[in-house]
């Protein structure tokens, strides 16, 4: 896992696996937002498998997929809600971390 800090309370990484969640918890993350659509590639874990394993560790999750059309206004609104409602620090993930970074930057513009 390549954890990259965007702000003191928000970091991003590429695709995570269920096996990564203990290390994510140990790193102090209290919530995770997935920006990758399910079935983007055949071998990626489903959001549901990540959600269930994270819940067992007390980590909150939310799925706000950003697909091939890019970051949408609806996705940005959902991400603003996630930032305001979920505990911090928060980890966003997608295939490489780029979409998780981009959507966060859009939320900063919307939040002012």
DSSP string, 51-89: HHHHHHTT-EEEE----TT---HHHHHHHHHHHHHS-SS
Three-state secondary structure call for residue 19: helix
Q: What is the CATH number of domain 4-111?
A: 3.90.190.10
- Residue 111 is predicted with a pLDDT of 67
End-to-end C-alpha distance for the chain, whole angstroms:
31
Q: What pTM was estimated for this model as a whole?
A: 0.95
Q: Is the pLDDT at 109 greater than 90, yes or no? A: no
Burial class (CB within 10 angstroms; exposed 0-12, middle 13-18, buried 19+) of 30: middle
Domain definitions of the chain by residue range:
4-111
- Tens of pLDDT, residue by residue over 18-54, are 999 999 999 999 999 999 999 999 999 999 999 999 9
């Amino acid at each position: 896992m390549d954890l990259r800090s965007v702000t003191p309370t928000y970091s991003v990484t590429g695709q995570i696996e269920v096996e990564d969640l203990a290390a994510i918890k140990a790193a102090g993350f209290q919530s995770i937002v997935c920006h990758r659509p399910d079935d983007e590639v055949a071998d990626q874990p489903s959001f549901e498998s990540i959600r269930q394993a994270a819940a067992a560790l007390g980590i909150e999750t939310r799925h706000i997929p950003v697909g091939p059309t890019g970051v949408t206004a609806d996705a940005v609104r959902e991400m603003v809600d996630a930032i305001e409602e979920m505990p911090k620090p928060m980890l966003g993930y997608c295939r490489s971390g780029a979409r998780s970074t981009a959507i966060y930057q859009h939320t900063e513009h919307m939040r002012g």
